[in-house]
Structure 1
């Protein structure tokens, strides 16, 4: 090639490289660029708290912004949060679904792995329209605080300060965290700071710890920091929080940004007085956000609370909240509380950063207007969550963040946790009686979901591979075939009858035996005699007849709250083996309370969770109910039963509740499997079809291998589409009162 042509070619190549490089840089910068405002001190602002409004800088001006968010957990089925199992692919898939739902904010409680921040930055670079913003939580040393009951201990203060530094470094992609058990680690290089909406410092505060901290440090001077200070009327604990919030501000200022600050709070430690709260502990002490103020933090400061409609109990009992009606004309204590809380926090924005109800069989608290902690279908969950969202918006709040994005199998609940043994295996199965596991908008279903559908059609059973099911050779009049299988959530039964099943003429009973003991006879089945006892008895028939009951001396709800705590009356005959008495399967929803722990006497409250709903688990069917337990069509009857209702404390290790109690703790046994005795009863004569005597010990046993790994299916719940509609209907915040 001639020299002139060579030079020309080099210039052309160089020009092309420059153009490509500039184009790539421009694409990268434009895609990653977030419009912000620079303060007089040189800090960048994207969001700010201004009077009672939360505002975003957009199109070269400040505009009102309503945070429509979802809390994001850190676990997957089969794992605990400290294992941090969520992958980049999971996050990218979830971000798209959250975006589609209409949320504009994701809140996380603690530092996630580097892939979370990388995925968020990558997702926002690629998407059209406004970014998906991040509210970063900073986890306090919660266990130490509860144990030591003194926030000022050096080990607690230093641990929290270090967590703050780590969180800021993680968000701005400027830190490498060493491996520590239960903590995120790795090299953080993705700068997600430009997508931050605010810092959410701390966890729900234990009232006894707060009270003790205030008592021990009464003479501490109000904190005066560079960016935040405590007011003269601040308590010692509020002064401590002011210091921690100021620490977050100082760390963030090193990166040239300012974002609005808040700290975690909940109804138990709100600054309001609740004369109708029965439990002294729940209205013991206040942590008041108005006692902390920004000094020179232009991004500002806002209040945030976790507010659920069923807890504490004053939502049911406090007459001062029973004056306000909602849009449907109903007395609405949740709406009344929101209004009182908003009125208290004058001249500052306030958000509800946790709210919602679970879609579960189990129930843990009762709420006004049926907004209970559990017992809801997915459709009901969506309707209640959407209603709460609308009320939060109507009352002039700056944001509402629903709890939670995904189901979390590892969670525990106060009224079932004593029955889940061993405790460290909770993540290996899904207990639908534990409502805390099922708050998710994204369902995490056990592995037979979508494989077996409870609909009265046996085709899906026939398609299961032989290793996935077991035919039981049970010789009982009226039955042609009995099949069983299981997954991480349920035991499944299929019965092929000789005649069509008609609940108006028949009832179908299934006696279940898992270990020695129980009832060898029962009033429900007159004349029945067995050589081994049954732990549970299932009845299928009309709606009010379909349920599972538990042998009286095996009933661990009654053993805990009757025999051990004396809150229930347990008759002497119910304590005996083979009493013949089966009792409804119940969970406590409120304990017996009496002075001095409560202001007056309240009896124990309980709910029946053994009712078996007839329906379908086909999510595409208009009659779908996530709680459905059985269906019958023609000669086919299908049934699924949650493991715990059969007495299992951990099916992954074949652990069942023992009949024996050891002091204050329950004990378990390892079962060899499940024996079932299916029976048909003529509703007119109340007689068992066929013989009355059976050798349970001779019945075939359904067996399975324990497991250490889980299978699961991820699917949007019905609540997702309902919340999507509600989110999309909300644009800007509602202005209440005069904004400065």
Structure 2
């Protein structure tokens, strides 16, 4: 029960308005029916949460290192505010400087404050170990994390040092800017099922602030207990904020009979089975919901009558409608949505909403479409995933060719998970080398780390950074790309064919693993030699020429074979080509891979497309061996790479620039030093500006 409005003083220059409850607690946000509300001008009004998720790390670091500085946060808050976002969601406790920076930024801001949702990370390792969310070990660890999170938010705790977690003196009270509590992580369906089975006879939970309905599962009772414990910590500080827990489509309460993977629809975690019993700030449901997974989105026919504004069947829109309808009377937020702007893709989605394979403009278009669907269907908030690119992330179809525990030290353009951000984290030379067919920027680099390599065709200038190898050259004559193609063969590891059919009898002293082709009459792409090809070695269903020396397109798997659960139809293995090289004159600069103007050649090649598993330690994927583990690829340390350029004239059917036999002495090795520290340039992507326009235009 409430009694009066009040102003709560923060610092000396900024005040936030809150309502005072009968017990003396303050409340700035609450849920009411299916709305999320904010207290302003001594009254409550609906607030659509225009949010963004924020990770806790930077390139060259893993999350537990927590390297983000106060200056980073302040700079980011300004950009996020400018974007039109009103709420930042963090998944776990950040260092003290996060809370200090947020309060400092808000005290200096002229407009509305920038709010945040505080997440509490699950003790996932203990949960995996016990297989039981209700075990005492899990409960104790989770409640301690809630204690620490509450202390961090309200600035009244000293968290001791612990590997992989934030620590230090938390002395800044950020409570007035807290929008909600967000408990937990995406739940493993196996853990949910195991917990329910082990505790099927346990009574439903009933606490001081939260309880469950009679039909709640043991796992849902466990969540209610955690929410109740969080509310208890809030009450001690004289505050109430809305509560939620993380959920996702895999454990949603809807039935998906056309989902081909049983695990993706085996058990549900139902937010409607949890109730607030004495919590004025209320409670809401929260889901991570992407348009490309689980697979029922691709195969269901239950949304055939749901059309988007373009008149096309839109299964993501249909799903959102069902999800919103199910939670009638309860606010629902989509707390993760979006697609990555990566070269590699990890899953196909309807209407081109794939998990990767997008330009930054395509990323923005798909994110804006999803935002509009979420907003128009009456959800109470939409939080984009994510703010900054995260190099440490792993992607299932890039993992076999990567060196484990080294992901953060280089940018893998093939790994979709690394490129969800709207703030791009570009490798260190992204601003130094502009791929445009002009060499002015190379002249500025020459005194630094450019290596000149003389070949029979032309001198090559080479340099590299955390994401790419860069090459420039002056060719012997102007190139007519409608009649001629420029090739560069790459020798990176021992092995390979020394007589590729493409070279028409030219004998190589060392075999080539990959080959770059730049052309107007052929596709410009990176090709791979069949016996070296990762894709056909990993997946027996993958198709390739199989003919040694006949270089073939570079592909990645996006779906393993499936079976439709209703029709029993076999759904075949799927893959996509990822080796395309984008000409600068046809794309935006961030996507440009090559350009030829007159005699000038300029290009960049992603390390991943050259076969490297970790260029920072000079590790590349090796050829097959008897020791190769199933589902993995052998790695070896190399000295460097050797580049062999030539020109193919289609009218004369001639190879220019190579004469047999080709000696490796004529093509010096490009070498580099191993690195442990990374350089990067942060810059807002095109998707940032597209989302900015969409967020600022929602109310209109």
Quickly name the TM-score band, shorter chain normalised. over 0.9
Is 1:550–2:517 an aligned residue pair?
Answer: no
Aligned partners of 1:525 and 1:687 also within 8 Å:
no
Counterparts of 2:378 and 2:230, CA distance in 1: 27
Residue 272 (1) aligns with residue 248 (2): no
The C-alpha deviation readout for 1:434-478, integer Å capped at 9, x for no partner, is 0101101101111101100001111111111333111111012xx
Residue number in structure 2 paired with 1:383? 365
Of residues 552-561 and 535-544 in structure 1, the stretch that sits farther from structure 2 once superposed is 535-544
SS at match of 1:659: coil
Of 292-301 and 528-537, the range deviating more from structure 2: 528-537
SS at match of 1:343: helix
Match of 1:133 among 111, 115, 129: 115
Counterparts of 2:223 and 2:308 in 1: how far apart (Å)? 35
- Per-residue CA shift, 1:225-244, capped at 9, x if unaligned? 00000110001101111111
Q: Is 1:671 aligned with 2:649?
A: no
| Distance in 2, Cα, partners of 1:545 & 1:130 | 51
TM score, norm. by length of structure 2: 0.96
Judge conservation of contact 1:589–1:605 (CA < 8 Å) in 2: yes
Task: Return closer, same or farther for 1:643/1:543 CA change in 2, 3 Å cut-off.
Answer: farther
Which residue of 549, 555, 567 corresponds with 1:580? 549
Q: What displacement does 1:323 show? A: 2.0
User: Partner of 2:597 in structure 1?
Assistant: 633
1:299-698 matches, within 5 Å, as 299-421=281-403, 423-476=404-457, 479=458, 481-542=459-520, 544-562=522-540, 567-568=541-542, 574=547, 579-594=548-563, 600-615=569-584, 623-661=587-625, 662-664=628-630, 665-698=632-665
C-alpha separation in 2, matches of 1:389 and 1:682? 49
Structure-2 separation of matches of 1:385 and 1:625: 21
Report the counterpart of residue 22 of structure 1 in structure 2: none
Name the counterpart of 1:226.
208
Displacement of 1:595: 8.5
Cα distance in structure 2, aligned partners of 1:625 and 1:242: 50
Partner of 2:689: 721
* 2:673 is equivalent to residue 705 of structure 1: yes
Cα distance in 1 for partners of 2:100, 2:81 equals: 17
- Structure 2 Cα separation of the partners of residues 604 and 496 of structure 1: 43
CA deviation vs aligned residue, 1:471-513 (integer Å, no higher than 9, x gap): 111012xx3x311110000011112112222210100011000
Aligned-pair distance for 1:660?
Answer: 3.2
Residue in structure 2 matched with residue 85 of structure 1 by the alignment: 67
Moved more, 139-148 or 303-312: 139-148
Instruction: Give the paired residue count.
Output: 690
Tell me the alpha carbon deviations over residues 647-689 of structure 1, each in whole angstroms, 9 at most, x when there is no partner. 1000000101111342333221111111111000102233212
2: CA distance between counterparts of 1:43 and 1:279? 47
Instruction: Please give the secondary structure, in 1, of the residue aligned with 2:17.
Output: coil
- CA distance in structure 1 between the partners assigned to 2:522 and 2:193 by the alignment: 49
Separation of aligned partners in 2, 1:252 and 1:35: 18
Tell me if the contact between 1:281 and 1:597 (Cα under 8 Å) persists in the aligned partners: no
Tell me which residue corresponds to 1:19: none
Residue in 2 aligned with 1:50? 32
Of 164-173 and 513-522, more deviation after overlay is shown by: 513-522
3-state SS of paired residue (1:701): coil
Change (3 A) 1:133 1:92: same
Tell me how far apart the structure 1 counterparts of residues 575 and 216 of structure 2 sit (CA, whole Å): 41
Shift of 1:597: 13
Return the alpha-carbon distance in structure 2 between the equivalents of residues 670 and 288 of structure 1.
50
Secondary structure of 1:637's match? strand
SS of the residue 2:527 aligns to: strand
TM score, norm. by length of structure 1 = 0.91
User: 1:278·1:599 contact (CA, 8 Å) conserved in 2?
Assistant: no
Whole-angstrom distance in 1 between the partners of 2:193 and 2:598: 64
Q: Is the 2:59–2:408 Cα contact (8 Å) retained in structure 1?
A: yes
Indicate if the aligned counterparts of 1:315 and 1:321 stay in contact, CA closer than 8 A.
no
Residue 166 of structure 1 is matched in structure 2 by 148
CA distance in 1, matches of 2:680, 2:536: 33
Q: Secondary structure at the match of 2:512?
A: coil
Q: Distance in 2 between matches of 1:321 and 1:419?
A: 38
CA drift at 1:615 = 1.6
Q: Deviations over 1:34-90 (max 9, x none)?
A: 100011222111010100111100001000100001101100010001000000000
Aligned mates of 1:251, 1:465 — CA distance in 2: 59
Q: Report which of the two structures shows the higher radius of gyration computed on alpha carbons.
A: 1
- Residue 112 of structure 1: how far off its partner (Å): 0.3
Secondary structure, counterpart of 1:424 in structure 2: coil
Aligned mates of 2:652, 2:218 — CA distance in 1: 73
Measure how far apart 1:694 and its partner are: 4.0
Alignment partner for residue 243 of structure 1, among 212, 218, 225? 225
Cα-to-partner distance string for 1:140-182 (whole Å, 9 max, x where unaligned): 1123223432111111111001101110111000100000000
SS in 1 for 2:463: strand
Deviation at 1:557, TM superposition (A): 1.5
Deviates more, 1:704-713 or 1:34-43: 34-43
Q: CA 1:99–1:61 in structure 2 vs 1: closer, same or farther (change >3 Å)?
A: same
* 1:626 Cα deviation from its structure 2 partner: 2.8
CA shift in 2, pair 1:526/1:116, >3 Å: same
Give ranges in structure 2 of 5+ residues lacking alignment: 1-7
Q: 1:592-623 CA deviation, whole Å, 9 max, x = no partner? A: 2359999653221000001111126xxxxx94
Structure 2 CA distance for aligned equivalents of residues 53 and 365 of structure 1: 34
